[in-house]
Structures are given as C-alpha cells and as structure tokens.
Structure 1
Amino acid sequence: MTGQHTTTMAAVRAGTATAVDEATERVPRSDRPRIGLPPVPPLPSTTRAPVPRESSGIRVEIQALRALACALVVLYHVVPLRLPGGYVGVDVFFVVSGFLITGHLLREVERNGRVRLGHFWARRARRLLPAALLVLLSTAVATFLWVPQTYWQSFLREIGASALYVENWLLAGDAVDYLAHTNAASPAQHYWSLSTEEQFYVLWPLLIVGSVWLAARIRVHRLVVVGGLLSALTVASFGYSLWTTSTSPPEAYFTTPARAWEFGLGGLLALLAASPLAGRHRLRTIVSWLGFGAIAASAFAFTAATPFPGTAALLPVLGTVAVIWAGAPRNDWSPTKVADFGPVRFLGDVSYSAYLWHWPLVVIVPFAIGHEMGTLSKVGVLVATVALAWATKVWVEDPVRTGTPLARRGLGATAAATALATALVVAVASGGWLYVKHEVEQARAVAEAWATGGDPCFGAGALDPQRGCGDPFAYTETVNTTFAKADGSRGMSCLSVLAETEVQTCRFGSDDPDETVALFGDSHTASLYEAMEEVAEERNWAVVTYLKAGCPPLATARMPAVNQPSDEPPACAEWGAEALRQITADPAITQVFTSYRSDVYKYRDDLGALHDEIPAEVAQAPMRLLADAGKQVHVVRAVPTTNGVHLGPELVSLEVSAPDCIAAAGEVDDACAGPREVRLTPDRLAEAATALQDGRVSVLDLTDAFCDEKTCHSVIGGTVVYFDGSHLSATFSRSLGQLIAARV
C-alpha cells in the first residue's frame, strides 16, 4: 500500500507563504491626487499616526519572519513529531500580510487620496497566481501519473477549489462532514491559507475605500475612520475565533472571519507605526528576541491537541507583531545579524514557492516510490522543495511580476491572462473528475446487474460453505476499487448531522406492509440500508430509519457523540430521547434493528468523567423500554473494522480506507485482510444485550459473513466490503440481506 494519509486537523495545520514584499516595491510619485475629495481636517498632532515609511530595500526582519514561518510549516509536514506546533507558521504569514498590505494601501491613500483597486488586484494577481497555478497544474499531472484512481476525485476536487480560492471553505465543510473528514489528505489542501489571504486581498481594499469615502463625507481624518473600522473588525473577529474554537474547531481554523483578526493586528501595526521607538536599539533588541522566542516556543510547545487558533494563537501572533515593531535594531546581540544571514534571506525570498511545492511532494512522493518516506526520501523532498522554489522564483514569479509584457500592459491583459490560466487548471481538474465519475457509473451499472442476477456467490454468499464458491477472496473482474470508494450506502443520506436534535426519518419497502420495522442507530447502522431493503422486499416489510451520525442510539444521555469534548451541546441525548419516544409510541413498529460502534464511544459518569467501559445497565435501559412497548429488539453486532492491515512487515493498527488499500496492493487475492482478533473490536452493546437474558432482545451476529477462524477480509465474493475504513459498501450490504432474512 502506498501513501496513506488521514485528513486530520494536524495534517492541515500549516499555511502558505503568501505575504507579499510590499516594502520593496517602488510606487511612482504623484504630484497631485487622481481624484478630488473634499478636504478633511488633519489629525491632532498629539494623535497623528505615522504611516509606515517606504523602503528602497528589503526589511530584513520581515524576510526573517518569512524564512522562519516557511521552515516551521515545511519541517512540520516532513517531520511532524520533531516540530508538533509548526503549523503556527501560517499565523506569522497572516500578520505579515496584514502589515504589508495595509501599509501599502495607506501610502497610496496618502499620495493619491484613493486606492486604485484594479491596479492593486492586478499586482496581486501577477505576484501570486503564476506560481500558484503552475504548482496546481503540476500537481494534477502528478496525480494522473502516480496516484491510484481511487484518490483522483477527492484530490482533483480540491485542486479545482484551490484554483478558485475557496479551498478553506471546502475543508471547513469536509471537516464537519462525518464521512468526508476521513478522506486522505490531498496535495492541494495547504492552499486553504492562500485562499484565506486572497479573500483578505479582495475585501480589505474595499473596506479601505469605504472608510476613505466615509471620512470625506463626515469630515473626519481618514486614518481615524480606518483605524476605528479595523479595530472593530479585529476585536469582532477575535471574539468569533474564540467562540468557534470551542464550538466548531474546523470553522475556527479554516474560515476567513475567524482568522481576520490576525491580519487585523498586522494592519493596526501598520496604521500606528512600524517602529515608534527608532534608535532605542536595546529595547528593540529585547522585544525582537522575545518575539522570535514566542514563535519558536509555540512551534515546539503546541500539538495537534492544542485548541487552535483561540487564545493559543496569541503567542505566535503577538510574537510576530513584536518582531515587526522592533524592526532591525543594530547592535552586537540583536537578531538582525541572523536575519541578514545569506541563507535566511534566501529562504525568505523563495518562501512562497517553497511552501507551494513542499506539500504536493510530501503527499505524492510515497505513491511514486511505493512506500512511506524514510530519512533519505525526506531529505530528497527538502532538497527538491528548495530547488523547485528557486527555479519558480527566478523563471516564473519575478519575470511575470516585473519583466514580461504582461506587467507592462493594462489591467485587461492581466485579467484575461488570470482568467485563462485559472480556467485551464479548473478544466484539467474537472476533466479528470468527470472521467472518474463516468468510470464509476459504468461500474455501478455492472454491480447492479450482478447483484440482481441471482448469483449465489455474490458478496457475503461466497462464504457459505454449502454453495461451493471456490476462493471467496479472489480479486475478480468485478472488483473495482474506484467504484467501491464511491459506493456509499443510501442510508447515509438519511443521517441527521451531529448538531441536529430534530429526528429525521426515511421510509422504504412496501407501501402496504405486513409489518413495519425500525432501523435505529449511527452511521454504521445506516450502512445496513441495502441489506434491510432486501429483507423488506422478501418479507413485505416497510422500514423506517432513525439514524444520526456519530451518536449512539441507546444510552445517549450518558454517552456523548464520537470524538466530541465533554462540554458538547446535548444534541445526541436530545435526539436519542426523542427517537426512542417516537419508536415506542408508534404501534405499527413491531421490530427494531439497532447497533452502534460501541468501541468509539465513551461513558460519562455522574461527575462528568469519561470512561471507555459502558455499564451494562446503562445500555440495557433503552432496550427494556423498547421491549416493554411491545417491540422485538435485534441488536446487530458491530461489523469488523479495517484495523490490522499488513503494510509490508508492519501491522497497522489504525483503520485504513479499504478501496485505497486494495488499489495500492494491485490485483492480488485477499488484499488488505487482517487478523480476526484485531479487527473484531469489543461490542459492549451486544454484550449488554446478551447479559440482559430477555427473550424480547436478541443479538444478530454477522461476523461469519466477514471473517473465517483467523482472518477478516476486505474483498469477499467479488465485492469490496467497505467504501472507507469501517462503513459497508452498498454492494456488499445488499449481499447481507439474504443472511439477515435467514436469521430473523
């Protein structure tokens, strides 16, 4: 198996080096303003805020910040255990961008009385887009060449989103999608921070323009209005960031409103003064060292478990503010000498391209070499990152920005080139995505025909020794891993999401049923949709679903949602209580099929502490409630997971995506099987049902449809068992219908 990556918050906590070196851009002088604005009163001399000076050279402390931030995020991705908080590099870049862009805009307002939006956006496009789009296009080509087709749709989807600068919102949505969050890390996901910065570049100049217009109308100095608006937005954004960090961490991490305060602090620094104590070298040296130390401390002290951004982000953000405020003090023990060191300046120069290139290499190289990266491979990635960054800076970034006809032509030429280049990347990504979609639909039609064809060796039926099916684990022509990854159960569309308390139901089966049954559980229970559909057709049943992602359907008052903090909103408990009430109150429902992956949930005691062990009486109480209401309760034992896959000599204990694993293994029999004792996790719900010893409650164990005496399998009867790491594929679920019908 090659290049397995799990999309977690830790895997994406990094940012792209997009802070533009506005301090080195010479802006033409103008002897008169471009437009006439009503005069505005000057600021009182005691409160006048100096506008950051234009510099004819490079601000070494900002280049050093770029170099440090780039090194942090690159090393964090290549050797994460060595630098667990390296993702704070993104916060450094956000502050630098806020400072530089705000300073540039304010200088233009002071010179011309306005912001020429078209020219500003054209400069940003020429500075940022050529390298960004080149890397995206190269990444798409590399995906076609080396990455198994099972990954194409998710990778290409994010490449397209990155080209359109909405990657941060896509990742925020996927992170709260109970199923999508298990997708492999794409080689374009680091573009989320570039998307955030581009959104800042679009919105902030408009706010400056609005502030200047308002200042002219109310006859207040423009810097007062700009400062007031920027302060209000910064405070509001910080408050929103604190709130979402505790209530919706993905939204806090990825979305622009929750990150705007970091740009805002940089902007306020540009508005007030870049170095108000010029000449105080000793004080500035101390402040500069403290700033760099705060950034470094956060990189080593923070981990993936640190609530972020929230208050934790103040450490690297204020550290960056301190470094910029201190400037470049000149004395023997200041950090300026280190900042002015040749390799540091070089890394600062190429930091943007270095960040763009490094993550696609980290993701795609394991696919290309056929195994996870070792020390030599990681060193090669670092060397290739620097080499590609230098080449991109010299041959793409600088020429397009300053030395090509595009830089000398009007705004229309830049807009047209931007649109064409973006369209090319989106077209390549969309074309690949549509190709895979066509392949999946063809495979789906084949699977539907085979599943309805009455083949006794289809799916789970192949394990019935009386059918004489030969090798039930063979890689046959019906095994299609790309289709399997898209073969999610239709029951997933019936799930209530985590934050919902309203009970939503789906109904399928007979319109004039002999019996009505309930399917009550979490997303793993939802995977039984196709199996229950087969049973309903045979028994003339109607099936009503009561399903919620990540929530145990029984004992919910004591068991929070999966992977949720102890102070989560009580959505699971409220939903579970209402679902139980509806089922028990419905006289038409005679049987209830229920289950959940009890090994992923915890039990909360009277003091609020969480425990792995679920007391039997807690799980049994809702069973008794259903049974006393006249329902026959069938507790379906949790199906095996994909734990325990052998990747070379190593036994991986975590779940892996079955389609990705099988695709990486190639066309070999019994790929990605695992030991029975590892894959069969404890099912405390089934254990509690057995201990209840009530004839109205039974346990339906389907383990023999997945496992023999020693091994549990991922390819059975010509089908891929799972569409991810633990949820059944719709095709295999359908094959379980015959087994359930025979045992109920």
Structure 2
Amino acid sequence: MSGRLGTMDPTTAGVPEPALSTSTVRMAPVPPVVPPRDGDTPPPPAAPRKESGVRIEIQALRALAMSLVVLYHVVPLRVPGGYVGVDVFFVVSGFLITAHLLREVERTGRVRLAQFWARRARRLLPASLLVLVASAVATVVWVPQTYWQGWLREVGASALYVENWLLAGDAVDYLAHTNAASPAQHYWSLSTEEQFYLVWPLLVVAAAWVAVRAGVHRRLAVGVLFGALTVGSFLYSLATTVSSPPDAYFTTPARAWEFGLGGLLALVAATPPEGREKLRTLVSWAGFGAIAYSAFAFTALTPFPGTAALVPVLGTVAVIWAGAPRWDWSPTTLADFGPVRFLGDVSYSAYLWHWPLVVILPFALGHEMGTTAKLAVLAATVVLGWATKVWVEDPVRTGTPLARRGNGTTFLATLVATVLVVGCAAGGWFYVQSEVDKARAAAAAYAAGGDPCFGAGATDPANGCGDPYAYEGDAANPIFAKSDLPQGFSCLSVLAETDVVTCRFGSADPVETVALLGDSHTASLYEAMETVAERKDWAVVTYMKAGCPALASSQLPAVGQPAEERPACGEWGEAAIQQIADDPSISRVFTSYRSDVYRYEDESGALHAEIPADLVAGSLQRLADAGKDVTVIRAVPTTNGFHPGPELVNLEASAPDCIARVSGTDDPCAGPRDVRLSPDRIVQAVEELGDDRISVLDLTDVFCDEQTCHELIGGVIVYFDGSHLTATFSRTLGQVIAQRV
C-alpha cells in the first residue's frame, strides 16, 4: 500500500480540523514598542486589526495544510508530498486542545469532560455526517454496484470514527489492499483525531489527579506524562514504519507523537514570545519552508511517517512558536491576507468535500478527469466548504437550540444521527449481500446440474453450445463476481513470511497425490484442481505464496516488489521445492504463475523481461529428478488494465467493474488478444529446455479466439479483479483440465 493514494494508498491524507474554534485562542497582548538596537531596522507600525481572537499563523497553517492535501489528491505529480498536510494538522490540534485543557485545569482545577466532548461533537459531526450521507447518495446514483459494498462499509466505519483501523487492516490484506479508494477513505485522519479527542482530556485529568496527590505542580505532571507518551509513540512509529508501514501510517499510536509535540509546545509556550521580532521572523519562515520542502521533495516512495515526518512536524512547531511577528518581510503579512484567512476558516469542510469529488466525479463523467474537471473540483471544494461552514458548522455550533441545550441533548442527537448513517450504510451493504447470495445460489445450481455450456465448457465446439459470450443467467452478476474469490487465497503465504503454508483437498484415499505450486494466480486455480481431483480421485497439496515464483525466486522479483520481501521469497521457494521433492507420496506437480510481472535480476541488479532457460531449469529439473511429473500451466490472459471504449480506458482494471457499467450486452469488456495475452516468459524458458519430463498445458483457447480475449464466458464472469479467476469460472475450467491432462 503503499503508494500514498488510491487502492489502498496510505496518503489519502489530511486532517483539516485542527481541534478548536479559532475564537477560543486569544492573541498575546501586543508588546510595547522597544527602541531598536544599533544595526536593527525598526519594526514597521503594526497594522490596525480587529481583536478577533484568531491566531493568524495557525489560520495560515490550516490554509496551507488543506491546500497541500487537496492539490496532492487532484494533481499528485505537482505536489508529490502534499500528504504532509496531515502532520501539520495533527500538531496544530495537539497544541490547541492542550492549551485549552490546561487553561481550564488552572482556572477551575478540573476538566469538564462532558462539556468538552459535547463541543467537539457540535463542531465536527454535523458537517462530517452530511458529507458521508452525500457521498453515499452519490455512490448509489453514479457508481457501479460492484463498489457499493466496500464503500458503504467505509462510510459506516467513518461515521463511527474507526476508518483508520479499517484501512490499516485492509492495507495488509492481500485481497483488500488493492480495493479502489472510497469517497470516505480520507476520514482515516479524522478518525485518528477523534480518538485523540477522546483520550487526551482523560490523560490531562489523570495527570492533574496525580499532581494533587503527589504534591507537584500540575504542569510538571502533565509534562512528564505527555513527554513519555510522545517519546514512546515516536519510537513505535519509527519501528513500524520499517516493519508495518500501514500501521505506522494509519494507526493512532504511531501518530500520537505528532499531537504530543503540539501539546508539549502548548505546555511551555502557549503564547508567542514577546519581542524578538527578527528571530521570530526567521523561525517562522524556516517553519513554513520546512513544510513546503516536504510537500515538494517527498514522494510516495518516502518511508513515512518515520524520521521524514519530523520535517513538517517541527516546521509546524516552529511556526506556532514564532506566532505572528511584525517585522520587515515577515510571513505575517501573507498569513493575514484575506484569501489565506478565508481558506483557513473553511479548511475543515473543504477537506471533507474534496475527496468525494475526486473519487466520484470520474464515474459521473464516464472518464478520467481532465484539466477542466480538476479545476472544477478545486472550485467546488472551496464553494462547498464555505457553504457548509456558513449553513451547517457555525449555526449548529453556536446558533441553534442544540448549542443552547445541555450536553445530554448533544450526545443524544449525535447518537441518533450516527446510528441513522451507520444503519443506512449497513442496509445498503446487506442489500448488496443479498444480490451476491442470489447469484451464488444460481452458480451452484448450474454447477450441480452439470450443464456443459456453463462457464469454460461453452467454448468447446463438441458441447454444441450457442453464443459462448452471451450475457445471460443470474450467475453473471458483477457484484457476485467481485466477491467470488477462490478458496486458494486462504492457503497463501504472504508478504515477508518464509513458512511454507500448505492446504490439502481431494480424496482421502487417493490414486495419486499432486502438488500445486506457484503464486496467487496459481491460487485462483484451486477450484479447477478441486474439480480435477474429484474426477480423477486425486489428493492435492498446495504450496503457494503471493507475488513469489518458487522457481529461482530470489532472482525473479515481481515488478514493484519491495527489496525487503525478496529474501523471504527466495527462502520460501527453496523450502517449498525441497518439501515437494522429499515427499514420496507426491507424483505430479502443477505449477503456474502470472509470469509477465516477474523480471530476471542479473548480477549487476539490472532487471530483464527475458528469463534465461537455465534459471528456471534448476528448480523444475530438481522436481523431475525426484520422480515427479511436472506440468507448467501457461499463464491465463489478463485485462492488463485495458477495456474498450474511451469512457472506460484507465477507469477500471477490474472485469466486474467494467461489466457492471455496461451490463446487459454480450461480453461488453472483451479486449484484443495481443493486449490481453502477455508473453509467458517462464513457459518460453521451459520450451527452450526441451526436457520431456516437463510439459506445458496451454488453456489460452478457452479464454481467447483468434482476435479477442473474453471476460464473460458461458454465463460466468472470468475474473474477480483484472487477472485472478473467479472461483466459479475456475471450477468450470477444471473440466477442461481434467480432459487434457
């Protein structure tokens, strides 16, 4: 997951809500005029300003951070590190919340938790829930049903403010991490912040309680606690950035240190220092510069947060510490510029709206966004942000009966609104699930009836079927196809694991025991081999690892495979082949890969598409020398991200998503054979070997005719994504394999 955006990309980032209403933080008194020292330029007279209670440097940080996040999502190549806006907001939130809580403790000796949480609810939830509802409605209106279940799941998680934990789990799930980004994905950062709002006041209360009983100053107790948590969180963040990047990026413990640094700043410097205008000017520019540097120098490949996050975080700390210095060339003039203050004011609602626009607009248009559409997104983001602040945020927070009634009323209204949103999302999810269940039952009925024209058998002329590519039957439901995952995926070794995970199925007293060896594309043949095993009275043992060919796997990395995963891949491949060779009960080995994603890495580290025959010969011939019959199944065609028609190009790489957009016509998403059928480099290497003990099984004719490769065959959708077979089609493919073996 890691790129920062998209399918399950961690920097779908931004938290434009820095905790407190600006009216709650007062500017420090304007210091008296001090005569200049020799060599100093006297400061210009301060511009007359209304006492608005707004710290303009914090408003500028809000405006900058929100702009960076929005631009990153709209034009990511222009602002490749714009995701650092999230770090800016975390620091600002930590500072404002801590300053507010400390003032209350020092004034009253306690924190009114119910009042604090009620204010947060009135400030954040109305706009948040409004955008979630709008996103759900827009999804139903414009987005294919194949997306509904996953997206509504995230809408519900966002309404409950646990989206960050959901995304962290999905990011390490081999099947979920490639999901298309939902319109609620950006709520991960808001979820992190809400969790902070829940826990942070409790820590202040606990520290104050300890201080009273230990006879120490409250600030000392709070400082010790916050300091320990900040250091611990930072160390945890460093460790998980290496060991589990999704956890480091999304989870609250790995991000708490950013809030903590803001809190520590509030503890020691709640207001900017008086005087020292020249120093403060330099520090403020340095802080803004650090944030800007991060936004343009960091990329999706930057390990993040880790130590890299220190740059925007410390930059934000510097800007807040410096305040709004009044000196020649100070950033204060720019920070106090009307449009900057306006963007700071609307930053929360603008952030909420921008990402649903980015995600859903291409579906509404029917094509990817061009320059005009991107400009429209930027304009709509600002307009919707302003309208929501004026007509939703401010009235609910200050001008409605809800704001004037007790905290209990706020909590009750919050509970009711949240339950309604979550309930509607759950209702949509269950509706989609009912459609999936109906299609699954239809597929099972066809399979049980032994219809030879159902699925792969429809392409066999001997079966006398009609049009093999007709769109007919309840089983050809794209929603069902997208969830029709082979059981083999539960048998995969994944990521950096080296243990050989095996599954066994088929006859308990087999005529033969065969091994199924390969990567995730081999796993999608699970049901096919299950069918073969039933027909031939075989037992099958699987040896499979995602993104890893067992053949010389240390020298055949997958495109984009992290370097740290390669040693584990090689170790696993060696162990799997050795286990098969040493098992006397195994008489046959079937192996298959999506070989076009693997590259040969030579001694210099250069990658080559062509795979030398002797590179794969060692592994295959070891199995043959151990007395195994070896069959290499040619890689099946894939969509290769191509679908016909300008309205579909680059919008869906998934067969079910494409078919859902244009369903009702025969095989609407078929594509040219020369695009869909990539060269199988491993099969080419096997054929060069010329070893009679190693054969090739080519199933291309099931998927493709002379010009076209198909995605809908015999009333069954072939792929659940862009390259892996659905369980239903795999099961019908087993009939063909059984005939040809």
TM-score, shorter chain, exceeding 0.5: yes
- From 658, 661, 666, the equivalent of 1:661 is 658
Residue in 1 that maps onto 2:574 = 577
Q: Displacement, 1:612?
A: 4.7
Report which stretch shifted further, 519-528 or 604-613. Answer: 604-613
CA displacement at 1:219 relative to structure 2: 2.3
1:7 corresponds in structure 2 to 6
In the aligned structure 1, how far is the partner of 2:252 from the partner of 2:105?
Answer: 25
Measured in 2, the distance between the counterparts of 1:686 and 1:569 equals 22
Q: Which of 664, 674, 684 does residue 671 from structure 2 map onto?
A: 674
Deviation digits for residues 231-269 of structure 1, max 9, x if unmatched?
222222222222222222222211112211211111111
Q: 2:326 aligns with which of 330, 335, 351?
A: 330
1:33 corresponds to which residue? none
Tell whether 2:176 aligns with 1:180: yes
- Tell me the residue number matched to 1:24: 23
Q: Residues 298 and 547 (structure 1 numbering): CA distance in 2 closer, same or farther, change over 3 Å?
A: same
Moved more, 471-480 or 98-107: 471-480
* Distance in 1 of aligned mates of 2:709 and 2:127: 47
Query: 583-592 or 556-565, which moves further after superposition?
Result: 556-565
Higher mean Cα deviation, 299-308 or 358-367?
Answer: 299-308
- Larger CA deviation: 91-100 vs 382-391: 382-391
1:692 alignment counterpart: 689
Work out whether residues 643 and 652 of structure 2, in 8 Å CA contact, stay in contact via their aligned partners in 1: no
* Per-residue CA distance 1:360-417 (angstroms, 9 max, x = gap): 1111122222222222322222222222212211221112212222222222222211
The correspondence for 1:224, drawn from 211, 220, 225, is 220
Q: How far off is 1:659 after superposition? A: 0.4
CA distances 1:297-340 after superposition (whole Å, capped 9, x unpaired)? 22222222222222222222122111111111113421112111
What CA distance in whole angstroms lies between the structure 1 residues aligned with 2:647 and 2:473?
Answer: 29
CA distance in 1, matches of 2:422, 2:721: 27
Distance 1:485 1:12 in 2: 25
Which stretches in structure 2 are left out of the alignment for 5+ residues? 27-50
User: Which of 529, 532, 536 is the equivalent residue of 1:535?
Assistant: 532
The answer to whether the Cα contact below 8 Å between 1:23 and 1:100 also exists between their aligned partners in 2 is no
Cα deviation 1:124-159 (Å, max 9, x = unaligned)? 111111111111112111111221111000100110
**CA displacement at 1:660 relative to structure 2:** 0.3
Q: What runs of 5+ residues in structure 1 fail to find an aligned partner?
A: 28-54
Q: What's the counterpart of residue 409 of structure 2?
A: 413
Which whole-Å CA distance do the structure 2 matches of 1:8 and 1:291 have between them? 32
CA distance in 2, matches of 1:555, 1:209: 59
Alpha-carbon distance between aligned partners in 1 of 2:600 and 2:648, rounded to the nearest angstrom: 29
Does the 8 Å contact 1:643/1:653 carry over to 2? no
Change (3 A) 1:140 1:276: closer
Partners of 1:497 and 1:137 lie apart in 2 by 36
- For 1:693 and 1:545, the matched residues in 2 are separated by 26
AA partner of residue 529 (structure 1): Y
User: Within 2, Cα distance between the matches of 1:680 and 1:311?
Assistant: 44
Q: Using a 3 Å threshold, how does the CA distance of structure 1 residues 695 and 455 change in structure 2: closer, same or farther?
A: same
Residue of structure 2 in register with 1:513 after alignment: 510
Change (3 A) 1:613 1:275: farther
Aligned to 1:430: 426
- Deviation, 1:499, is 3.3
The equivalent of 2:379 in structure 1 is 383
Cα distance in 2 for partners of 1:422, 1:120 equals: 19
| Greater mean deviation of Cα atoms: 421-430 or 733-742 | 733-742
Q: Secondary structure at the match of 2:299?
A: coil
- SS at the partner of 2:326? coil
Deviates more, 1:11-20 or 1:631-640: 11-20
Deviation of residue 93 (structure 1)?
0.7
Instruction: Give the direction of change, closer, same or farther, for the CA distance of 1:182–1:9 in structure 2 (3 Å limit).
Output: closer
Q: CA deviation at 1:652?
A: 4.8
Distance, in Å, in 2 between the alignment partners of 1:231 and 1:569 is 38
- Among 441, 464, 467, the alignment partner of 1:471 is 467
Whether 1:642 and 2:639 are equivalent positions in the alignment is: yes
Q: Which residue of structure 1 lines up, in the alignment, with residue 259 of structure 2?
A: 263
Q: 1:439 aligns with which of 425, 431, 435?
A: 435
Q: Is the 8 A contact 1:591 1:632 kept in 2?
A: yes
Relative to structure 1, the CA distance from residue 569 to residue 202 in structure 2 (aligned partners, 3 Å threshold; closer, same or farther) is: farther
Alignment of structure 1 residues 584-623 onto 2, 5 Å: 584-605=581-602, 612-623=609-620
> Secondary structure of the equivalent of 2:589?
strand
Assess if the C-alpha contact under 8 Å between 1:636 and 1:700 holds in 2: yes
3-state SS of 2:539 partner: strand
Deviation, structure 1 residue 445: 0.6
Aligned pair partner of 1:76 in 69, 72, 76: 72
Partner residue in 2 for 1:350: 346
Shift of residue 484 of structure 1?
0.7
| 1:467 Cα deviation from its structure 2 partner | 3.4
Aligned to 1:63: 59
- Provide the TM-score with structure 2 as the length reference: 0.92
Equivalent residues of 1:516, 1:591 under 8 A apart: yes
Q: Partner residue of 1:51?
A: none
Q: 1:496·1:503 contact (CA, 8 Å) conserved in 2?
A: yes
Partner of 1:459: 455
> In the superposition, relative to structure 1, how do residues 326 and 565 fare at CA in structure 2: closer, same or farther (>3 Å)?
same
Distance in 1 (alpha carbons) for counterparts of 2:7 and 2:221: 41
Change (3 A) 1:109 1:665: same
Q: Which amino acid aligns with 1:456?
A: P
Corresponding residue SS for 1:567: helix
Q: Is the 8 A contact 1:645 1:673 kept in 2?
A: no
Whether 1:164 and 2:163 are equivalent positions in the alignment is no
CA RMSD of aligned residues (A): 2.3
Change in 2 beyond 3 A, CA 1:128/1:585:
same
Maintained 8 Å contact 1:237/1:259: yes
Aligned partner of 1:631: which letter? K
* Partner residue in 1 for 2:30: none
Could you say which residue in structure 1 is the equivalent of 2:500? Answer: 503
Please tell me whether residue 272 in structure 1 is matched to residue 272 in structure 2.
Answer: no
Cα distance in structure 1, aligned partners of 2:651 and 2:348? 35
Measured after TM superposition, the shift of residue 607 of structure 1 is: 6.2
Give the equivalent residue in structure 2 for 1:312: 308
Contact 1:550 1:562 in 2 (8 A): no
147, 150, 154: which one pairs with 1:151? 147
What fraction of aligned residue pairs are identical, expressed as a percent? Answer: 73
Q: How many residue pairs are counted as aligned between the two chains?
A: 713
Distance 1:207 1:605, change over 3 A: farther
Q: Deviations over 1:672-710 (max 9, x none)?
A: 222222222232322232222222211111111111222
Q: 335-344 vs 572-581, which deviates more?
A: 572-581
- Decide which of 290, 293, 302 is 2:298's aligned counterpart: 302
Separation (CA, whole Å) in 2 of partners of 1:558 and 1:377: 44
In 2, the alpha carbon distance for the partners of 1:607 and 1:489 equals 38
Query: Is structure 2 residue 205 aligned with structure 1 residue 206?
Result: no
* Alignment partners' CA distance in 2, 1:197 and 1:613: 49
The answer on whether the counterparts of 2:10 and 2:249 sit within 8 Å (CA) in structure 1 is no
TM-superposed deviation, 1:732: 1.0
Match of 1:50 in 2: none
What TM-score results when the alignment is normalised by the length of structure 1?
0.91
One-letter code aligned to 1:740: I
**Is contact 2:19-2:96 (8 Å) kept?**
yes
